[in-house]
Amino acid sequence: MNVVTKINGIFANVMKNNQEWCSDHLLEIINELLHMASDIKKKQTDGKEEIPAKELTIPQMVYDTFLVNFEHFVTLLGASDVTIVDKAAMNILAFIHFSMI
Contact, 50 vs 34, CB < 8 A? no
What is the span of the domain harbouring residue 51?
21-100
- pLDDT at residue 1, as a whole number: 64
How many domains does the chain divide into?
1
Summarised one tens digit per residue, pLDDT across range 4-14 is 999 999 999 99
Q: Is 7 within the bounds of a domain?
A: no
From the list 1, 81, 19, 32, the residue with the least C-alpha distance to 10 is 19
Q: Is 10 within the bounds of a domain?
A: no
Alpha-carbon span 24 to 29, nearest angstrom: 9
Assign 3-state DSSP to the chain and report helix, strand, coil percentages, each to 5.
80, 0, 20
Summarised one tens digit per residue, pLDDT across range 19-38 is 887 899 999 999 999 999 99
User: Which pTM value belongs to this model?
Assistant: 0.87
Q: Is 12 within the bounds of a domain?
A: no
What is the residue-averaged pLDDT of the chain? 90
Q: Is 67 within the bounds of a domain?
A: yes
Contact, 25 vs 88, CB < 8 A? no
Tell me phi and psi for residue 26, to 5 degrees. -65, -40
